[in-house]
Amino acid sequence: MQNISFTKYKTSQEIIKAANSRPDAPKLFVETYGCQMNVADSELIMSVMIDAGFAVCDRPEDADVLFINTCAVRDNAEQRIRNRLQALAHLKKKKSGMLFGLLGCMAERIKEQLLEQEQIVDIIAGPDSYRTLPALVAKAKEGESAVNVLLSREETYADISPVRKDTNGVSAFVSITRGCDNMCAFCVVPFTRGRERSRSPQTILDEIRQILAEGYKEVTLLGQNVDKYNWNNEEVKFAQLLKMVAELDPQLRVRFATSYPQDFTDEVLQIMANHPNICKYIHLPVQAGSTRMLETMRRGYTREWYLNRIEAIRKFVPDCAISTDIIAGHPTETEQDHFETLSLMQSVGYDYAYMFKYSERPGTYAARNLPDEVSEEDKSRRLDEIIALQSKLSHESNKKDVGKTFEILIEGESKKSKHKLFGRNSQNKVVVFERKDTKIGEYAHVKITGCTSATLMGELIEPN
């Protein structure tokens, strides 16, 4: 197999086309589950494998090597992946020599158990082991054990240029940190992704320059906790990096996720206020509304601290949209704790939220020390009440936008009609409108004429 020279080609699509032009190249298919970090990791995986001589295919049945990049944050995510593996098992019977690899957080958490329990899995690789994937494939072909789940304190993949295959060509993800040191009681991420470490700002800026050269209009800076970005002993912190990225090109939209309340600073808010191309949207997970529950969850802040951060956002960036994460039924949660979560939601008025029932993850502090004693009935009821309230809050937020005009970055075609397009405004709200003469990747000015709790509807207007 002949390796691809990445410097010879300008875009991901050119790289993929060149890789697929080699008649002898084995074919790779990557299927991704979980968060935006997993999407970004799959782009790294694609890059590593193309560089090692692989082509890329669009269907799992055409693959010689099939990778599933996994999530382990909740049990139902792992069950979905187990079910998916079983659904794909027939492919190995049809195609001699086909290899299955399980990558990412679930692979890191369960490790060798997967080789024993899931007989179709040939390769196991954790989030810090993607450079070794070609060697692991070679081992698996020879019938050897192909497992690498070593966590690293240094690996950031800073020198690898991601290959972005399954994107809209408009928005791109760039990882700026890996791992997490927060050790929240319920969270498995520190065990599956390791300790926090930051990429050098120069490699981040170089990657974004390449993204701009490929025609992308928006970039999202990613990390389990972007606020903890810290290069070379505070030589560059997150606020400074955010400013550097925003100043690369005033036409580039800049987003970031995820923020952590304890580390979220006024300096970041000041930079957001001073740079129109930094989107006015912050994802600030709260998880629970009572100080007692936050202490139990080991979140490191109080209800009052969190509300202080919300007040700061409203002060510096008045038009900022805010979303959050909420867990229903965490161990020891009482009806009073649940009521305080609902009251905090009302107080903040979230634009939208990601809401889940508590799911015990083996190895976490909660699993070891906090019996999961909240009944499934109570968990489900509390979650239903949280979802119902958030639906009301989201609808109220969207109704306030009716009559306003927003600049929308057009991302794609509406699922319901090919005559309509959708995009997002700076506040990360989805807007659907008649396409007329507009195209994906363009900016458009849209006046909001109606809404649901999830979507804004509007009509194109000429900018002033």
Query: Do residues 56 and 66 make contact, with C-beta atoms less than 8 angstroms apart?
Result: no
Domains of the chain: 6-148 (3.40.50.12160), 175-279 (3.30.750.210), 281-400 (3.30.750.200), 405-461 (2.40.50.140)
Q: Is the dihedral of CA 336, 308, 232, 163 positive or negative?
A: positive
- Find all residues with CB under 8 Å of 346, minimum gap 6, and list them: 389, 393
Query: Do residues 183 and 148 make contact, with C-beta atoms less than 8 angstroms apart?
Result: no
Give the other-Cβ count within 10 Å of 192's Cβ: 26
Residue of 240, 238, 246, 293 whose CA lies nearest to 264: 238
- Find all residues with CB under 8 Å of 189, minimum gap 6, and list them: 73, 105, 179, 180, 224
H helices, E strands: number in the chain: 15, 21
- Find all residues with CB under 8 Å of 130, minimum gap 6, and list them: 41, 44, 45, 48, 103, 157
- Find all residues with CB under 8 Å of 144, minimum gap 6, and list them: none
Q: How far is 174 from 256, CA to CA, in rounded Å?
A: 9
Q: Which residue has the tokens 């949209």?
A: 321
- Measured in residues, the chain has a length of 464
User: What does the DSSP assignment read for 107-156?
Assistant: HHHHTTHHHHH-TT--EEE-TT-GGGHHHHHHHHHTT--EEE----SS--
Q: Which residue has the tokens 């634009």?
A: 351
- Name the DSSP class of 166: S
Q: Is the pTM of this model over 0.75?
A: yes
List Cα–Cα distances, 55 to 23, 121, 129, 409, in angstroms.
Answer: 9, 21, 20, 32
User: What does the DSSP assignment read for 35-77?
Assistant: SHHHHHHHHHHHHHHHHTT-EE-SSGGG-SEEEEEE--SSHHH
pLDDT tens sequence for the chain (464 residues): 344 445 555 688 899 999 999 989 999 999 999 889 999 999 999 999 999 999 999 999 999 999 999 988 878 888 888 889 888 989 988 898 999 999 999 888 876 666 665 578 999 999 999 999 999 999 999 999 899 999 999 999 999 999 998 888 999 999 999 999 999 999 999 999 999 999 999 999 999 999 999 999 999 999 999 999 999 988 999 999 999 999 999 999 999 999 999 999 999 999 999 999 999 999 999 999 999 999 999 999 999 999 999 999 999 999 999 999 999 999 999 999 999 999 999 999 999 999 999 999 999 999 999 999 999 999 999 999 999 999 999 999 999 999 999 999 999 999 999 999 999 999 999 999 999 999 999 999 999 999 999 999 999 998 65
β-pair type (321-328, 352-357): parallel
322 forms beta bridges with 282
Query: Do residues 291 and 303 make contact, with C-beta atoms less than 8 angstroms apart?
Result: yes
- Name the DSSP class of 266: H
